[in-house]
């Protein structure tokens, strides 16, 4: 029969180290958290060989008393919690009391510290039976870790190349630096100074770490709701990239990877991102420590919220509002010539009726919708001139139409320069937002067709229509069987009257057949409405008059998220007059 025996302390610490010390970056993260918890205002990090040979962290914090140096290296010893209540309201970065003991079990560790008010510093080697010795240090603490995994060579074999390990260490430094812009931080690797951050405000620190380009292309978020607050920046959808490592999310100053927050982020960007692009964000969430459990994972990168649904909704709605209320200008002036031309932060949030049509633009919009109706033959291409009475600087962000290019783009000018609009993409977004508003307000107006649209259908299609007749009526459709293999569309939503009735009906029936009305009303609703908007939006080669183009511009200005179509493509760009001057070398 196997004998039960108590494990040696060293082996226990080495097992614990496997959970806490995954790689050099894990050690560095723990040491940096301790420095910040100690009230440091300046931290220096020195690495050698990616942190495998040496990690030295020097700070000017409160230091450790001589009598507590040895205790700091024992397991389950911490100054940050003393009761269950403390554990349930953790307000510090480090708290588990395992890091230093775990590091000392798999590396050579030395602590030199001078407590506030002490006459001199003390040094302690992380070896069994070692005692503190007098040392020279002006203030704070210096912790050195040499030769990670020197006594567990099997683990050392799993470490990556020096460059990879350094990159992970640099990420740890940058994440902590983002949360504390008031702290000066430097990073040296193999004798080269690679990062030097002076104390700064939050925006400057974000620009120093994530780049000026990120800050220029991002939108500021600042919102509060009860015990929750959210601040930071989220990338404008037009500037999103395929990179998957651009999301920095912090909860009470702690970098986290949380499924709830990540899902809320994806949902907020769902219909404004193109293809596989990812939203880059730097978000700082503050919450009552009692409402979040940070004691979930040894590495402390996972958290559990007491009310995860409330957190999800808070993040989702905050981001969605930010993306909907789009700024009139970017955070930074555009660069030079064509290299700087990029999708502008299009779309301007304004008052809307339940269908998204404002009174001043209603008349001109009817003209535009009439021109966009399917079945009208393309108009002959004729030169159009701008009325001489057209206002130029009355505050219209998208300006006024000048002409239509190749039946695809609307050319306009505003006070800043030239505007180019993809009319199909812009109309698609306008229709989509109106459909969502109408669907939410249950105010879907129906348009009867003068000539019903008949199309062939399978027995399953016909059964689906009969089963969901009431749901189809609620969506503004009147569809009925016209025989054993035919369906007839007699009416459709007025907003979609310019679309192909048969194509719209087929798409809706397919969705109903696959998902049913209950799922269609929730998870798949927006996808269906986006598809309907795409089918009904004005197509290429549809010639519009100047008033009709201006109607489109005014509707864009009143539509949320008008800077991107439902597939995330940009709907318009702005070319500043200064960039046009540079193209023609004016003033040079």
Contact 30, 109 (CB under 8 A): no
Rounded to whole angstroms, what are the CA distances from 222 to 232, 234, 360? 7, 11, 32
pTM for the whole structure: 0.65
Nearest to 99 by CA among 20, 8, 10: 20
- Count the neighbouring beta carbons within 10 Å of the beta carbon of residue 196: 12
- Residue 338's pLDDT is what? 33
**Structure-block tokens of residue 419:** 């505007």
Report the side by side order of strands in the sheet with 254-255.
218-225, 228-235, 281-286, 247-251, 254-255
Topology of the domain covering 338-428+539-583: formyl-coa transferase, domain 3 (3.30.1540)
Topology of the domain covering 9-199: Heat Shock Protein 90 (3.30.565)
The CATH class given to the 445-536 domain equals: alpha beta
- Residue spans of the chain under pLDDT 70: 1, 7, 9-20, 76-92, 94-98, 275, 295-300, 325-395, 441-442, 515-528, 535-536, 538-540
Task: Give me the residues paired with residue 285 across strands.
Answer: 230, 251
- The domain 203-324 is placed in CATH, from the list 3.30.230.10, 3.40.630.10, 1.10.1270.20, 3.50.50.60, at 3.30.230.10
- Helix pair 24-37, 99-106: axis angle to 10 deg: 140
Nearest to 148 by CA among 89, 105, 93, 191: 105
DSSP of 448-474: EEEEEEEEE--HHHHHHHHHTHHHHHH
- Residue 245's pLDDT is what? 77
- Residue 364's pLDDT is what? 31
Give the domain ranges of the chain: 9-199, 203-324, 338-428+539-583, 445-536
- Sign, CA torsion 10/13/17/18: positive
- In whole angstroms, give the CA distance from residue 94 to residue 29: 10
> What pLDDT digit, counting tens, does each position of 243-264 carry?
777 889 999 988 988 888 988 9
- Residue 381's pLDDT is what? 38
Task: Give me the residues paired with residue 54 across strands.
Answer: 48, 146
SS3 for 159-194, per residue?
CCCHHHHHHHHHHHHHHHHHHCCCCEEEEEECCEEE
- In whole angstroms, give the CA distance from residue 530 to residue 523: 13
- Residue 410's pLDDT is what? 93
For 562, list phi and psi in degrees, rounded to 5.
-75, -5
Sequence-ordered list of residues with C-beta below 8 angstroms from that of 272, at least 6 positions apart, any chain: 237, 323, 561, 563, 564, 568
- Residue 97's pLDDT is what? 59
Please report, to the nearest 10 degrees, the dihedral formed by the alpha carbons of residues 423, 428, 433, 438 taken in order: 120
- Residue 39's pLDDT is what? 92
């Amino acid at each position: 029969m196997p004998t039960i025996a108590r494990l040696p302390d060293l082996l226990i610490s080495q097992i614990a180290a496997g959970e806490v010390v995954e790689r050099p970056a894990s050690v560095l993260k723990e040491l940096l958290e301790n420095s910040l918890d100690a009230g440091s205002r300046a931290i220096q990090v020195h690495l050698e060989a990616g942190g495998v040979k040496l990690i030295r962290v020097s700070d000017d914090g409160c230091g450790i008393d001589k009598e507590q140096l040895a205790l700091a290296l024992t397991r389950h010893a911490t100054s940050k919690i003393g009761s269950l209540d403390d554990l349930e309201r953790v307000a510090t970065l480090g708290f588990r009391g395992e890091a230093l003991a775990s590091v000392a079990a798999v590396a050579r560790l030395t602590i030199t510290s001078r407590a506030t008010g002490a006459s001199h510093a003390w040094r302690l080697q992380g070896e069994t039976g070692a005692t503190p010795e007098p040392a020279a240090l002006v203030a704070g603490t210096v912790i050195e870790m040499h030769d990670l995994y020197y006594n567990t060579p099997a683990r050392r074999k799993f470490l990556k190349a020096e460059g990879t390990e350094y990159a992970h260490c640099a990420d740890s430094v940058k994440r902590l630096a983002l949360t504390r812009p008031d702290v000066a931080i430097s990073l040296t690797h193999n004798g080269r100074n690679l990062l030097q951050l002076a104390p700064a405000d939050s925006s400057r620190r974000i620009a120093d770490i994530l780049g000026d380009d990120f800050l220029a292309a991002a939108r500021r978020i600042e919102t509060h709701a009860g015990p929750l607050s959210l601040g930071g920046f989220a990338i404008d959808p037009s500037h999103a990239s395929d990179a998957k490592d651009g999301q920095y999310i912090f909860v009470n100053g702690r970098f986290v990877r949380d499924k709830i927050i990540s899902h809320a982020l994806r949902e907020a960007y769902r219909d404004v991102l193109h293809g596989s692009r990812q939203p880059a964000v730097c978000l700082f969430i503050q919450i009552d420590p009692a409402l979040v459990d940070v004691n979930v994972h040894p590495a402390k990168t996972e958290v559990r919220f007491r009310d995860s649904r409330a957190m999800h909704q808070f993040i989702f709605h905050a981001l969605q509002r930010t993306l909907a209320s789009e700024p009139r200008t970017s955070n930074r002036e555009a660069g030079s010539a064509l290299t700087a031309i990029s999708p502008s932060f299009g779309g301007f949030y304004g008052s809307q009726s339940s269908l998204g049509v404002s009174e001043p633009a209603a008349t001109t919009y009817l003209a535009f919708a009439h021109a966009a109706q399917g079945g009208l033959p393309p108009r002959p291409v004729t030169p159009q001139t701008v009325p001489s009475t057209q206002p130029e600087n009355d505050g219209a962000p998208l300006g006024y139409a000048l002409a239509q290019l190749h039946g695809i783009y609307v050319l306009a000018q505003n006070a800043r320069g030239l505007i180019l609009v993809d009319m199909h993409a812009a109309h698609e977004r306008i229709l989509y937002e109106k459909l969502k508003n109408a669907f939410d307000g249950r105010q879907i107006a129906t348009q009867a067709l003068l000539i019903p649209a008949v199309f062939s259908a399978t027995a399953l299609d016909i059964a689906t229509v009969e089963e969901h007749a009431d749901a189809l009526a609620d969506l503004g459709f009147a569809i009925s069987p016209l025989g054993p293999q035919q369906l007839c569309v007699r009416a459709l939503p007025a907003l979609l009257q310019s679309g192909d009735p048969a194509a719209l009906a087929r798409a809706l029936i397919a969705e109903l057949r696959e998902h049913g009305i209950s799922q269609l009303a929730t998870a798949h609703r927006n996808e269906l409405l986006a598809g309907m908007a795409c089918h009904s939006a004005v197509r290429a080669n549809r010639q519009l008059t100047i008033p009709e183009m201006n109607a489109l511009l005014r509707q864009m200005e009143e539509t949320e998220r008008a800077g991107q179509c439902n597939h995330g493509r940009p709907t318009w760009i702005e070319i500043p007059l200064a960039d046009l001057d540079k193209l023609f070398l004016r003033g040079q």
